Structure 1
Amino acid sequence: MAMLRLKLLLLRWATAVGAGLVTLFFLAARVIPYDWMAAFGGGFARLIGPHLRPSRTARANLELAFPEKSPAEREAILRGAWDNLGRTAVEYPYIGRLWDYDPERPDATGRIEVVGQEHFLSLRDDGRPGIVFAAHLANWELLAVAAARHGLEIAVLYREPNNPAIARIIRRIRGQNMGRLIPTDLRGGLALVGVLKGGGHVGMLVDQHFSRGPLGRFFGHPVRTAPAAAKFARAFDCPIHGARVMRLEGGRFRLEITPPLVLPPPSDNPAADEAALTQTITGIIEGWVRDRPQDWLWMHRRWRVPASEAPAMPPAPQKHAADVDKPEGGR
C-alpha cells in the first residue's frame, strides 16, 4: 500500500512538472521569435535524436525503403527527419501565427504557399460531404489550419496527451486554429460517420500501421493500413482528396491538395474495392515520402506484417501517385 501511494505521488509530481514545463515553454514562445525557436528545436533533435531508441526503428525502416542508398545517405535522411520532428514540436505555440497565406492574394510572398487552392474552395462550396487524407509529413497540423482559414469546416481525429493539463493547452490551441476535433476513441468513428451524413468533411492521417487493415504494399513491402478513408469514400460516394505539407528553407511551407481521386465504378465486392482504394492512397503517400523523405516520421513501426503474408498481397501499383501532379521545389 505504501509503495502504491509513493507511485501515485510520483505520478502526480511528474504530471505537475510536465505541465509546468509546457506552460513555461508556451509563455516563452510569446517573446522568442519563431525562427530562433525552430532552429533550436530542429538543431537539438538533430543532435540528440539519432542516439535515441526510436532511431533503431527509423534505421530499419530506411533500409527497407531505400536499400539502394548508402548508409551515409540514410543517416542524412534520419538526421533530417529528427530536425523536422524537433521543429514540428516547437511550432505548436506559433501554429496560428505561422499562417500568413491570404486566399484573396495567392501570389503574395510569405511563409505559406498553397498549391491546389481551388480544391479547398471546391470542397467548401460543393454542398457535398468530402474526405481529405494526409500523412505525417513536415508539420502536418498546418493542413487543418489551412482548411479552417479557407472557410472549410473539417473534423479531424486527435489523440489527447496523457497529461490533463497539457491536453487542455493543446486542445485550446487546436480549437482556436483547426476546426472541430474528435477524440480518437471508440466513439470517434461514429462521430466521423455523423459528420459525413450531415454533409460535412473529415480529415484523416492514413500512413501508419493498422493491424485490422487490408494488406497492401508500401515501398514494395507488405503493410496493413486503416481502410476508413476508402470505406467512407465508397459508402458516401463523395470526393476524396490527398493533402500534404512540405517544409521549405527559411521557415517556409508549401501545402498541396490534390484533385479528387478518380474512382472506378464499384464492384460486387465492397471489401476488395476498399482494399484497392486503400492501396491507391498508400501509393500516393509513398510518392510523397520518396519525394521528400526527410519530412516523414520514420520512427514509427510501419512495417509489421510477417513475410509469410506477402503472397496474399494485391499486385503492386504501376504508379506511386497516379494522375496527381507533383509540384517542383525542395528543401
Structure 2
Amino acid sequence: MEQSGSGQRAARPFSGSMRHHLEAWGLRSLFQLSRMLPASSASRLGGALARHLGPFLPSSRIADLNLQRAFPKLGAWERQNIIRGCWKNLGCTLAELPHLPDLPSSPATGPGWRVLNDHILHQARRSGRPVIFFSGHLGNWELMPLIVARYGLGFSPFYRAPNNRHVDHLLRQMRQKIAGVPTSFFPKGRQGARDAVRHLSNGGHLGVLGDQKMNDGIEASLFGHPTMTAPAAAALALRFKALIVTGHVWREGPARLVLDVASCLDPQDVSPAPRQEMIHQLTQTLNDELERWITERPENWLWLHRRWEKTFYQNKKK
C-alpha cells in the first residue's frame, strides 16, 4: 500500500460494495425482526425509534425548510412536532412492510386496513380502460398496490431505484409479495418510461407517486410556489385515454391503515387545448389534490426530500 507524504499509511476508502452489502443486511435484519413481532408492536417500535432518532439527522433540516415554505405561519415548535411525526410515520411504514400481506381488511379493532370511497375503484374496473393510480409518499404508501389488486386493478409502479442494487432487489421482492399479483417495476428514466408505455398499450395499469421533484419535468404550483413536477401521469393518461384514480393512505393507529380514494379523473373531460396545456392542467389538478392531502395531515407526508428548486435550499444555508 502506498505511503502518504507524512509517512502515515493512507486511509483505505470504505468499499462501496461492502457498504452496499451491509446496508442490505441491515434492512433484511430489520424486516426479520419486524416479522417476529406482532404487526402493531412492530409498528409502535419502528415509529418510536424513528421519532426519537430521525430529528437529529441532516434530512430533518430539509424538512424544516420545506415546512417553512409550505406553512410560513407555523412556529418552530409546531414544525418540529410535524417533523417528529413524519419520522414516526416513516419508522412505522418500514416496520409494517413485512406484515402488509397478512393484514385483514375492515377489522373492528387492531391491525388491518379499510377503504373509503371504494365505489370509485369499482367504477374504474367496470370501465375496462387503463388506469393510472396517482398518490404520494403519505401514510404507508406501500399498501395501495395490495388493496387495488384486491379490486382487480393490480398495477405496476414507477419508482426511484436505490443506488444500492442489493437494497433495490430486496425492496422489489418485498413489494412483489405485498402486491400479491405479478408486477413489473419501472425505474424512473427513459427505459422505464418506454416499458411503462408498452405496459399501458397492452391494457395494464400504472402507479405513480407524483410528489417528488423532477428536474426535467414541467413547472406546476405546490403550496403557492412553482416546482418542477413529473408530468407522466397526465401525459400518459391523455395518450392512452386512461383514467387517473387519485388517493392516499393515512393511519388510524399502529398497523391500522386507511386508503382514501379521492377522485377518478377522465382526461377526456379536460377542456380541449394544445396538448402541453392539457398536460399542465391535469398535472396542476394532481398537485392541488396532493397539497390538500398534506394540509389535512402534515405529519403523514415525507417532508425529507428537496421538493423545490435547488437555490431555495442553498440560499437558506447562507
- Say whether the fold is shared (TM-score over 0.5): yes
Check the 8 A contact 1:128/1:200 in 2, yes or no.
no
Check the 8 A contact 1:128/1:238 in 2, yes or no.
yes
> Can you give the 5+ residue segments of structure 2 that lack an aligned partner in the other structure?
4-9, 313-318
Among residues 84, 92, 102, which one is paired with 2:89 in the alignment? 84
Letter in 1 for 2:57: L
CA deviation vs aligned residue, 1:170-228 (integer Å, no higher than 9, x gap):
22221122241323143111111112111221110111111122222111111110011
* Distance of 1:162 and 1:82 partners within structure 2: 22
User: Within 5 Å, which residues of 2 pair with 1:30-109?
Assistant: 30-98=35-103, 100-101=104-105
Q: CA deviation at 1:96?
A: 1.2
CA deviation vs aligned residue, 1:138-180 (integer Å, no higher than 9, x gap):
1101111112222222111233434444333322221122241
Percent of pairs with identical residues: 34
Check the 8 A contact 1:148/1:177 in 2, yes or no.
no
Give the structure 1 partner of residue 184 of structure 2: 181
Check the 8 A contact 2:133/2:246 in 1, yes or no.
yes
Among residues 197, 203, 211, which one is paired with 1:199 in the alignment? 203
Among residues 287, 304, 312, which one is paired with 2:309 in the alignment? 304
Q: CA deviation at 1:247?
A: 1.3
* Distance of 1:125 and 1:275 partners within structure 2: 28
2:230 maps to 1:229: no
* Distance of 2:78 and 2:11 partners within structure 1: 50
Check the 8 A contact 1:158/1:181 in 2, yes or no.
no
* Distance of 1:74 and 1:275 partners within structure 2: 31
Q: CA deviation at 1:305?
A: 6.9
Residues 226 and 19 of structure 1: CA distance in aligned 2, closer, same or farther (over 3 Å)? closer
Q: CA deviation at 1:52?
A: 1.2
* Distance of 1:289 and 1:12 partners within structure 2: 37
SS of the residue 2:280 aligns to: helix
SS of the residue 2:141 aligns to: coil
* Distance of 1:141 and 1:96 partners within structure 2: 11
Give the structure 2 partner of residue 171 of structure 1: 172
TM-score (norm 1): 0.83
Q: CA deviation at 1:284?
A: 0.6
2:257 maps to 1:253: yes
Residues 15 and 243 of structure 1: CA distance in aligned 2, closer, same or farther (over 3 Å)? same
Check the 8 A contact 1:121/1:152 in 2, yes or no.
no
Check the 8 A contact 1:182/1:191 in 2, yes or no.
no
Residues 227 and 2 of structure 1: CA distance in aligned 2, closer, same or farther (over 3 Å)? farther
Give the structure 2 partner of residue 155 of structure 1: 156
SS of the residue 1:244 aligns to: strand
CA deviation vs aligned residue, 1:275-315 (integer Å, no higher than 9, x gap):
111011100100000001000011111111768xxxxxxxx
Check the 8 A contact 2:24/2:167 in 1, yes or no.
yes
Residues 85 and 26 of structure 1: CA distance in aligned 2, closer, same or farther (over 3 Å)? closer
Letter in 2 for 1:182: F
* Distance of 1:153 and 1:249 partners within structure 2: 26
Residues 237 and 213 of structure 1: CA distance in aligned 2, closer, same or farther (over 3 Å)? same
SS of the residue 1:181 aligns to: coil
CA deviation vs aligned residue, 1:28-55 (integer Å, no higher than 9, x gap):
2332222222212111111111121111
Residues 72 and 29 of structure 1: CA distance in aligned 2, closer, same or farther (over 3 Å)? closer
Q: CA deviation at 1:234?
A: 1.3
Residues 2 and 136 of structure 1: CA distance in aligned 2, closer, same or farther (over 3 Å)? farther
Check the 8 A contact 2:218/2:229 in 1, yes or no.
yes
CA deviation vs aligned residue, 1:28-86 (integer Å, no higher than 9, x gap):
23322222222121111111111211111111110111112222111111111111111
SS of the residue 1:247 aligns to: strand
2:101 maps to 1:130: no
2:284 maps to 1:279: yes
Check the 8 A contact 2:210/2:230 in 1, yes or no.
yes
Give the structure 2 partner of residue 267 of structure 1: 272
Q: How many residues align?
A: 301
* Distance of 1:93 and 1:107 partners within structure 2: 19
Residues 6 and 125 of structure 1: CA distance in aligned 2, closer, same or farther (over 3 Å)? farther
Pairwise CA RMSD: 2.5
Check the 8 A contact 1:215/1:222 in 2, yes or no.
yes
